[in-house]
Amino acid sequence: MRRLQIYEPRERALVRAADTAIAPLSWFAGRGGPRADVKRVLLLRLERIGDLVMVLDAIRDARAAWPNAAIDLVVGSWNAPLARLIPGVTAVDVVDAPWLARGAAAMAWPALMAHARGWRQVNYDLVVNFEPDIRSNFLAWLSRAPRRVGYWSGGGGAFLTDALEYAPKSHVATNARALISHAAGREAPNRPRTIPELVAPADAHARAAERLGAARGPIVGLHASGGRESKQWHLDRFASVARELAGARAATIVLTGSDADRPVLDIVKRDLAGVRVIDASGLDVPALAALLERLDLFITSDTGPMHLAAAMGTPVVALFGPSQPERYGPRATLERIVRVDLPCSPCGQVRLPPQRCRGHVPDCMDGITVSAVVHAANELLDAARPSAGRVATF
């Protein structure tokens, strides 16, 4: 089923019912061509780090399409420090949507709606919602912007003036760029990427340099936490990869992760006796971005830091299991995607994996071998110049 695929079955039924109820709104929605006098643009990207990084190309397209416009970006508080590193963004607005926020920061629906109605005072000419979600389409509608561009595929198309289908087989970045091209009325030209794509401030670079200290040899980052159980690789295999690269290349191993990832990092560190290891956990996002830029290689599963490393121009070895690399793969100048070819993979069931895949490393991650990851890492460390990424199936 192509539409509403981001929801679980019960949620799909609720979204269908809501779509039926709001269908009459589409009778009154204005339709019109692109306006040349766009002065104020609002972009919505409420989800996680990787989701924001994957629309950087679209944000750049928006700045190119409306070079003199104010372009404001709405993100969750967890992404506000990252959003402020994006060139071309005029202002960052923070919205902690209750379906995304974790903990006490979540805004109650009345407060969220009041915040969205406050956008009316800015008189936005255009709102673009990068989320295929009925709830954020509703927030766009509350802005009363004369043009509201987004996807109908996640429900709430009636809240938009321009509702496009989300192409499920295309990368998130490609879908996001299509929205901007539609809003601008012309295809965005293919311009060379500016690497790094994010501009970390001087103090962030200083914190990164202090953490790395006198790191020697190739500096290899290792992000052992998968973020979700369905994307978690064996911790002892992460350690084995690190030992092989340290032994063969005299590499310094840099462990990254949040404070919440501390138990994972401690397990990996215990297996790295005798290896030159730097613990870079707990860094804020700007400092993490600056640190990633200094690495020679970054090894991780499908995580937000994977996308962040790609945006900073760092070569990436990405381990993929249930998620689809064609949709969510890193857009790095140098990359290798390592996965196993199973009939059930990629299933796309990251949030709610099949029962047989719960409580342990799922088959699609278990099948990834240490030798496959080391081989991919050596390929990138040996590479003399950037090249197009390819999928390596083992």
Q: Are residues 52 and 128 in the same domain?
A: yes
Q: Are residues 215 and 180 in the same domain?
A: no
pLDDT tens-digit series, residues 169-211: 999 999 999 999 999 999 888 878 888 999 999 999 999 999 9
Q: Are residues 150 and 215 in the same domain?
A: no
**For residue 280, with 0-12 CB atoms within 10 Å meaning exposed, 13-18 middle and 19 or more buried, which class applies?**
buried
Return the axis-axis angle of helices 285-294 and 304-311, rounded to nearest 10°: 60
State how many domains the chain has: 2
Q: Are residues 269 and 137 in the same domain?
A: no
* pLDDT by residue, tens only, the chain of 394 residues: 344 555 556 566 665 666 666 665 655 555 555 566 899 999 999 999 999 999 999 999 999 999 999 999 999 999 999 999 999 999 999 999 999 987 668 999 999 999 999 999 999 999 999 999 999 999 999 999 999 999 999 999 999 999 999 999 999 999 999 999 999 999 888 878 888 999 999 999 999 999 999 898 899 999 999 999 999 999 999 999 999 999 999 999 999 999 999 999 999 999 999 999 999 999 999 999 999 999 999 999 999 999 999 999 999 999 999 999 999 999 998 999 999 999 999 988 888 899 888 999 999 999 999 999 999 999 999 994 443 333 444 3
Assigned domain for 195 exists: no
Assigned domain for 269 exists: yes
Question: Which of 153, 184, 215 is the last residue before a domain boundary?
Answer: 184
Assigned domain for 180 exists: yes
Secondary structure in 3-state letters for the chain: CCCCCCCCHHHHHHHHHHHHHHCCHHHHCCCCCCCCCCCEEEEECCCCHHHHHCCHHHHHHHHHHCCCCEEEEEECHHHHHHHCCCCCCCEEEECCCCCCCCCCCCCCHHHHHHHHHHHHHHCCCEEEECCCCHHHHHHHHHCCCCEEEEECCCCCHHHCCEEECCCCCCCHHHHHHHHHHHHHCCCCCCCCCCCCCCCCCHHHHHHHHHHHCCCCCCEEEEECCCCCHHHCCCHHHHHHHHHHHHHHHCCEEEECCCHHHHHHHHHHHHCCCCCCEEECCCCCHHHHHHHHHHCCEEEEECCHHHHHHHHCCCCEEEECCCCCHHHHCCCCCCEEEEECCCCCCCCCCCCCCCHHHCCCCCHHHHCCCHHHHHHHHHHHHHCCCCCCCEEEEC
Q: Are residues 212 and 355 in the same domain?
A: yes
Question: Which of 184, 211, 242 is the last residue before a domain boundary?
Answer: 184
Assigned domain for 196 exists: no
Beta bridge partners of 148: 127
pLDDT score, position 387 = 38
Best CA proximity match to 43, nearest among 109, 165, 139: 139
Q: Are residues 247 and 377 in the same domain?
A: yes
pLDDT tens-digit series, residues 224-245: 999 999 999 999 999 999 999 9
Q: Are residues 129 and 242 in the same domain?
A: no
pTM, full prediction: 0.90
Structural domain boundaries enclosing 56: 9-184
Q: Are residues 133 and 24 in the same domain?
A: yes
Best CA proximity match to 28, nearest among 134, 148, 185, 182: 148
pLDDT score, position 189 = 80
Instruction: Write the CATH number for 213.
Output: 3.40.50.2000
